[in-house]
Amino acid sequence: MSDETSFLTPEVTSMPRFSGIRTFMRLPYEPEVQERDFVVLGAPFDTSASYRAGTRFGPEGIRRISSLLRPANVFHKIKPSEFLNGVDGGDIMVIPGNTEASHRNITAHVKAWAEKGAVPIVLGGDHSITLPELRALSSVHGPLSLLHFDAHGDTWDDYWGEKYTHGTPFRRAVEEGLIDPYRSVQIGMRGTVYHPNDLDEARKLGFLVITADEMREIGLQETMRRALERIGESKVFLTFDIDFLDPAFAPGTGTPEIAGFTSAEAQGMLRQLTDIHLVGCDLVEVLPALDSAEITTLTGATLVFEFLSLLAVHKQRTTSSSFSHSK
Ligand code: MN
Ligand code: MN
């Protein structure tokens, strides 16, 4: 159980996991922008939500339960801290009710970290926060592939005349040239929509859309094979809306949709992404006040650990193979 390096400071073996002040997985808290492999940031902005608000407490809830996580991933046979140097950069300043000012801060902050080589891992917040992340990362990396897990496409044009909401970021991202929709995929769409053609609208923008019904038809392996084929070699932003999961597995969210996926299915799909070139990711729409027994925050935290594991596997491949835990 003894380890030279670990995310956890102090080590889990020297101090119980439930002790101490919370950062994501007890990473060091380093708000100063610096050269790192990754940074975990909170974006506690939730006033672009179209139904239930409260995801401003998402980052706090995810950090709280993340202390439960242990440092090694048994599926990938990897301990991310052996390959990655990362910190918790704290929360980005947001202004409730002022979407554009909050988005400007998110863009500036994410861009500053990305320019130092860090892969930003952002905890939402409502899904509007992904747009300013994409602005930041496309300014550093060029137009990105989007890999989008969600019950909703979030490609509506506006809500009550508002262009910047949690239901519109991906239409804006296409319009602004931040992502290449022909290299992007949306997975898991289901539920009631405003108009029978809503999903076709996303397809008209260029996205590959694989609905929940289609996923059940073709299977999850085939779903991920099509997604990976679509993405190819391009730089990828992975965005995961927790409502991709069934409300039974993630009750704490603002716009739940029935007939979703299990946490095991989501974890299994993410684990197939070891070949993608990930330059940024986020996990959004966790709403702790509506959670039950910390199911949703735990799921969110664990899926973020899967993101970290993907970065670690990628790094492992690109560094020398002198590590004892190499696969
Ligand atoms: Mn969403
Ligand atoms: Mn959603």
- SS3 of residue 264 by DSSP: helix
What's the confidence (pLDDT) of residue 35?
A: 98
Taking the centre of ligand 1 as the mean of its atom positions, its distance from the CA of residue 41, in whole angstroms, is 18
What is residue 102's predicted lDDT score, i.e. its pLDDT? 98
**Ligand whose nearest atom lies closest to the CA of 168:** 1
90: enclosing H helix or E strand: strand 86-91
Tell how far the Cα of 7 is from the centroid of ligand 2, in angstroms: 30
- Strands of 38-43's sheet, edge to edge? 86-91, 38-43, 119-124, 277-284, 235-241, 145-149, 185-189, 208-211
Helices (H) and strands (E) in the chain, counts: 9, 8
List, in order of start, the domains of the chain with CATH numbers. 24-326 (3.40.800.10)
Asked whether 246 and 295 are in contact (CB, 8 A), the reply is: no
- Beta bridge mates, 280: 237
Measured between alpha carbons, how far is residue 107 from residues 81, 180, 253, 322 in Å?
A: 27, 19, 24, 37
Q: How far is the CA of 188 from the centre of ligand 2 (A)?
A: 9
Three-state SS at 41: strand
pLDDT (0 to 100) of residue 285: 98
- 29: which strand partners? 88
Residue 254 C-alpha to ligand 2 middle, in angstroms? Answer: 8
Ligand nearest to the CA of 146: 1
Distance between Cα 192 and ligand 2 center (Å): 12
Asked if 121 and 304 touch (Cβ cutoff 8 Å), the reply is yes
The closest ligand to the CA of 131 turns out to be: 1
Query: What is the structure's pLDDT at 4?
Result: 45
| Residues 295 and 256: beta-carbon distance below 8 Å | no
Under DSSP, is residue 236 helix (H, G, I), strand (E, B) or coil? strand
Please list the rounded mean pLDDT of every run of 10 residues in the chain (327 residues). Answer: 53 81 95 98 97 97 96 96 97 98 98 98 98 98 98 96 97 98 98 91 97 98 98 98 98 98 98 97 98 98 98 90 46
Amino acid 1: pLDDT: 39
* Distance in Å, CA 47 to ligand 2 centroid: 15
Of the candidates 105, 61, 113, 112, the residue with the CA atom closest to the CA atom of residue 87: 113
> Quick one: pLDDT at residue 244?
98
The predicted structure's pLDDT at residue 281? 98
Residue 22 and residue 144: Cα distance in Å, rounded? 32
Q: What share of the chain is helix, strand, coil (3-state, %, to 5)?
A: 40, 15, 45
